[in-house]
Amino acid sequence: MKKLLFSMLILGLSITSCDDDDDYQTIESIDKIKIDSVKIVNDTMDVFSIQSIKTYSTYPSHCEGFYGYDYVHNDNLTRTVTAYKYITSGPCTQETYTSANQINFSPRRTGTYTFKFWNGGNSWITKTIVVE
């Protein structure tokens, strides 16, 4: 009986093993992607409240997509934001598309916050939010 259970367990594990024909592609590299535009709904907000800041980037193919942000506190009231994309090497649609992503901003002190979003090269999109 124990041999039968053991054999069934081994058979079950071999049936549920990973399949090489899945839909996931391996990430080959990570690189900066310029932020084309930024949408801030409220340019004034209360301290300790939360606001979503949306960024939009254009990707040259569906082999690339949003990976994450580098969100740097330069000082108490200045933030720089750089977006990163992943790049895969697999079959994918070779058409450009725009993707929206967001940062949730929750300030802990009052003041005028300056955000600088990387727009390629030495260019930045600058936005301000007044926190009361």
Whole-number Å distance between alpha carbons of 43 and 129: 5
In tens, the pLDDT along 98-116 reads 999 999 999 999 999 999 9
pLDDT number for residue 4: 40
pLDDT number for residue 93: 84
In tens, the pLDDT along 46-70 reads 999 999 999 999 999 999 999 999 9
Residue 85: C-alpha distances to residues 22, 28, 109 (Å):
22, 11, 31
Average pLDDT, the chain: 86
